[in-house]
Every structure is written in C-alpha cells, then in structure tokens.
Amino acid sequence: MSPVSGLPPAPAPAPPQLPQRSGGQRRWTVQLAAAVLAAQAVFFAGVLVWSFFDGHWLTDLELELLNFRLTIAALSAAHYVVIFGPLALLSLAGALLVLLRPRPGWVFAMAVQCVVLFLGLEIYFIERGDDIVELPILYLMMLGSILIVIFLNSPEGRLLLVRAAPPRDSHDRRLA
C-alpha cells in the first residue's frame, strides 16, 4: 500500500524501448564499401581499357619494338598501362574480401588505398612532366581514394572491423 494515498502502488514504468542496433547497419556498410571498391576497380579497368585503345602510348611502344629498341621512354610510356591493371585487380579483390570477410577486407582495402595514394603522389612529385600528370586521371584517382579512406575511417566504415555478432538471419550468417 502506498503510505501517502492509501492506493496500491503504481506498477513500475516499463523501460523505454531503445532502438536496437541490429546487423542492418553493418550489412549496409559492407554493401556500400564493396560497391565503392568495385567502382574504384571499374575506374581503373576503364583507364586500362582506354589506355589500350588510345593509340598514342601503344604506337610509341610498337615503334620502339619494331625498331628492335626497348628504350626507357617506351617502357615509361607503357608503365601506366601496367599500373592500372593490377590496381583494378586489387580493388576488385578488396571489394570481394569486404563482402566475404569484412574485417580483413577493411585492412586490405586500406592497404590498397595506401598503394593507390602512394602511386598517385609518386607520379605527381617524381614523374612531373609526364603526360599523366596533365590528365585528370591522376587527380580522380587520388580524390576517389581520399573519399574511400574517409569512408572507411568513419564510424560507419569501422563497423567492418567489429567482429560479427552471432548470426541471426541468413544474410548475417553469410557475412559471418
């Protein structure tokens, strides 16, 4: 009995229902990270394809080869083509790894961004005067990588590092 009013004590109020943090947020992050890395892979692949079909570099190389001369100039003309192929593969691998194993995927994706940014800065600072510095490709490459680093370092991006809770639905089970 309530000592004041004589009425029976009121039932204790139920604790407020706080929004549950489900695996949905993490799932969204995984998908977004994979999509972004896939887009980066597509970008590199696009540059690669464009390089092949842009006759300038290839012709230079062909000319050198036809003349039985493999000069440094010819190699440097080709090395941009050589760079973007592996980068495309690395980004694609990063996207797949993020989907399959988010935690190592995060680390791998960050390592890929280190490589991309390092190459970008190396070309910018060391290979100044080369054609590519004048192209927007270099800056697009760096900008894309910066945005990915920002995303992966954000609280949402770091959700990839959280070890998955015991799976509750089929999708989570796949992720785990």
Partner 1 sequence: MSDPTSEFIFSASETHAPPGPGVHTHLDARLESQAGRLALLRRYEPIMKFTRGEQFFPMDAETYIRCCSLWIKRPKEEPRQLIPAGQLTPDLLAELYQDEFGTVRYLQFTEPLKATEMAAMALRRTQARRKGDAKAGEDHVAAGGKGFDAGVFNAGTGRLARVGYTSRIIDALFSVSLLARGRVPGDLATAAAEGYHMLLAADDRHIYHGRVVEEGGWIVLQYWFFYLYNNWRSGFNGANDHEADWEMVCIYLAHDAGGHLQPEWVAFASHDYAGDDLRRRWDDPEIQKVGHHPVIFSGAGSHSSYFSAGEYLTELELKFLAPVSRLVDFVVGRWRAIQGPSDPDELPRPNDQYPASYAAHYGSAPSTPGAQASPALAPDAPAVSGAGSAQDPGFDPSSVLAIPFVDYARGDGFALGPGQVDAWSTPCLIDENTGWVRAYRGLWGLYTQDPFAGEDAPAGPMYNRDGSVRRAWFDPVGWAGLDKVSPRAALPATVEAQKAALRTRQLQLRDEVQEQQSFLRGLDVQAAAMRNQPHLQRSYLGTMARIEAVSRAVAQRQDEIAANDALLESLDRYAANIAGGLLGDPRAHIRRAHTPAARSDLPAGRVAELWAAISVTVLLVAFIVLFLVKPGVLPFWMATIVALFAFVEAGLRGTFTRVVGSFAVGLGVIAGLVLVYEFFWWVIGAIVLALALYILYDNLRELTRRSGTSGGSSTPPSASA
Binding site for partner 1 (CB under 8 A): 106-107, 110-111, 113-114, 117-118, 120-122, 124-126, 139, 142-143, 145-146, 149-150, 152-153, 158, 161-163
**With respect to partner 1, which residue has the nearer C-beta, 62 or 122?**
122
Burial of 171 (0-12, 13-18, 19+ CB in 10 A): middle
Q: Name the minimum Å distance from CB 146 to partner 1.
A: 5
Q: Is residue 81 a contact partner of residue 48, using CB atoms and an 8 Å limit?
A: yes
Burial of 124 (0-12, 13-18, 19+ CB in 10 A): middle
**With respect to partner 1, which residue has the nearer C-beta, 41 or 109?**
109
**With respect to partner 1, which residue has the nearer C-beta, 47 or 120?**
120
Q: Name the minimum Å distance from CB 87 to partner 1.
A: 15
Q: Is residue 83 a contact partner of residue 120, using CB atoms and an 8 Å limit?
A: no
Q: Is residue 105 a contact partner of residue 98, using CB atoms and an 8 Å limit?
A: yes
**With respect to partner 1, which residue has the nearer C-beta, 45 or 146?**
146
Q: Name the minimum Å distance from CB 109 to partner 1.
A: 9
How far apart CA 142 and CA 139 sit, in angstroms, is: 5
**With respect to partner 1, which residue has the nearer C-beta, 7 or 163?**
163
Q: Name the minimum Å distance from CB 88 to partner 1.
A: 19
Q: Is 117 helix (H, G, I), strand (E, B) or coil?
A: helix
Q: Name the minimum Å distance from CB 110 to partner 1.
A: 5
Number of neighbours of residue 152 by Cβ within 10 angstroms: 23
Q: Is residue 61 a contact partner of residue 78, using CB atoms and an 8 Å limit?
A: yes
